Amino acid sequence: MPQQTRRYRLAGGLKRESFYPVFQGYKETSAIGMRVNFSDPLQFNRASVVASYSPAGDLPQSERVHVKANYERYDWRGFFELNAADFYDFFGPTKTSRKGYVIEVGKKHSLIFDLPRRLDLDISGRISGNLDRLPEAQNVPVNVDRLYTLDVKLSD
């Protein structure tokens, strides 16, 4: 069969790469769900979606669904999370699960790329809401309606 030549579309070539079941902890409950990974043939674009559900426990209905979606291109990235759940919450003394949502967009740009010299600028913005714990300090309870964060980093 002859090879078919076609134009490479940067964001349009995502195809399912893998999927598998996941088990996560959310606060004091368990959640079951699926993870699906996507990528394009050259690995310039990658995406993943993890969705799970906590069927038992005394959680409000609004906290039973857990979603985490991630998209990465070589220079851009996007992230969405709803009611963060994590596998390691089953074991560790520190729980990373958190009520609420997070939406983040970021871009990385090389300012100097003359190896071995390199300098990258990484800018990201995040909107978080309906949180019951601070994002970077899990043991600090809060009732935050909306939190805006802007990060600017230089790295070599």
Give residue 21's pLDDT: 97
Residue 42 and residue 35 in contact, taking contact as beta carbons nearer than 8 Å: no
pLDDT band at 1 (very low <50, low <70, confident <90, very high): low
d(CA 123, CA 143): 27
Alpha carbon of 1 to those of 8, 22, 42: distances in Å?
20, 39, 22
Q: How many residues does the chain have?
A: 156
pLDDT band at 57 (very low <50, low <70, confident <90, very high): confident
Give residue 134's pLDDT: 74
- Percent helix, strand, coil in the chain (nearest 5)? 5, 65, 30
Q: Nearest-CA neighbor of 24 among 95, 82, 85? A: 85
The Cβ-side half-sphere exposure at 16, using a 13 Å CA radius, reads 6
Q: What is the reported pTM?
A: 0.84
Which residue type, as a one-letter code, is found at position 27? K
pLDDT band at 72 (very low <50, low <70, confident <90, very high): very high
Maximum CA pair distance of the chain? 62
The Cβ-side half-sphere exposure at 24, using a 13 Å CA radius, reads 28
